[in-house]
Amino acid sequence: MTKDSVDFVRQGAFIALGMVLVQQSDASSPSLASIRATYTKIVGDKHEDPMARFGAALGQSFIDAGGRNVTISLQSRAGTKNTNAIVGMVMFCQFWYWYPLAHCASLAFQPTGIIGLTEDLKAPKFDFVSNAKPSLFAYPSLMKPPKKETTAKLTMAVLSTTAKVKARERRKAASEDAAEGVRD
C-alpha cells in the first residue's frame, strides 16, 4: 500500500508501518533497512506528494520513538486501560484536520527501559544477564549527508554572429593601435 496511487492510502500505510515496527532493529526485522531507505527517499524528495511525505516522516519517527526505548501501549503495566493513551491515540487519528494533533500520539508511548534510583536519587549498579545478541539492541546507523555531485563545465557554443562581432572588435582595436603608432 506504500506504492498506491492515492495519497491518503500511502500516508496511512507509512504511519501504520511505523507503528508496527516500533522498537525494532535491523537484526530483529531484516526488512527494516529497506523500509528505512524508503522513508528517507520519500521524506527527502521534494517532488513527492506532501501527504505521503508527512506520513513517511511520522512513520519514521514511530520506528525510532524515544530512542527506540518506548512502545505504543493503551494499557498500564497493571493491565488496566490507560485513559490518557486511549485519548491520545483517538486525537492522533484526527490529525488530518489539524496537524498539531499528531503530537497526541506521544501520550500512548510507554517506556520500556529500566530506570533505577536509590533513595538518595543515585544510580545503583545493575547486573543483567541477557542471552540475546547485542545486534538486537544496536542503534540504527547514522544518516550520511548527501554527496554533492559536481558537474563538468560544458563548452559554450559560439554563434556565428558572436564570432563576427569579436572579429570586428579585434580589427577595430588593431586599426586603433596602428593609428596610435603613426601619431607617435
pLDDT tens digits for 77-128? 888 999 999 999 999 988 877 888 888 899 999 988 777 888 899 888 888 7
Domain count, the chain: 1
- Rg of the chain over Cα atoms, rounded to whole angstroms, equals 31
In a domain, 35, yes or no: yes
Give the CA count within 13 Å in the CB-facing half-sphere of 81.
Answer: 5
**Does residue 98 lie within any of the structural domains?**
yes
Is 104 inside any structural domain? Answer: yes
In this prediction, residue 27 carries a pLDDT of: 79
Please report, for residues 11, 39, 61, 62, 93, the alpha-carbon distance to residue 49 in angstroms, rounded to integers and kept in the order given.
Answer: 10, 13, 18, 20, 20
So what's the pLDDT on residue 88?
Answer: 92
Place of cell 513527492: 48
Confidence of residue 134 (pLDDT cuts 50, 70, 90): confident
pLDDT of residue 2 exceeding 70, the answer is yes
Q: Provide the domain limits for residue 38.
A: 7-114
Look up residue 39 and give its three cell numbers.
522513508
The reported pLDDT for the residue numbered 4 is 83
Global pTM value: 0.67
Measured CA to CA, the distance from residue 92 to residue 60 in angstroms comes to: 16
pLDDT band at 183 (very low <50, low <70, confident <90, very high): low
Instruction: Determine, yes or no, domain membership for 142.
Output: no
Give pLDDT tens digits for 13-44.
999 999 999 888 777 888 888 898 898 899 98
Q: By C-alpha distance, which of 15, 40, 35, 16 is closest to 25?
A: 35
Confirm whether 67 is domain-assigned.
yes
Does a structural domain hold residue 153? no
20 grid coordinates: 508496527
Joined together, the cell numbers standing for residue 37 give 531507505
Confirm whether 119 is domain-assigned.
no
Please check the confidence at residue 162 and state whether its pLDDT lies above 90: no
56-77 tens-digit pLDDT? 999 999 988 888 888 899 998 8
Which of 81, 82, 106 has its CA nearest to residue 92?
Answer: 106
pLDDT of residue 181: 67
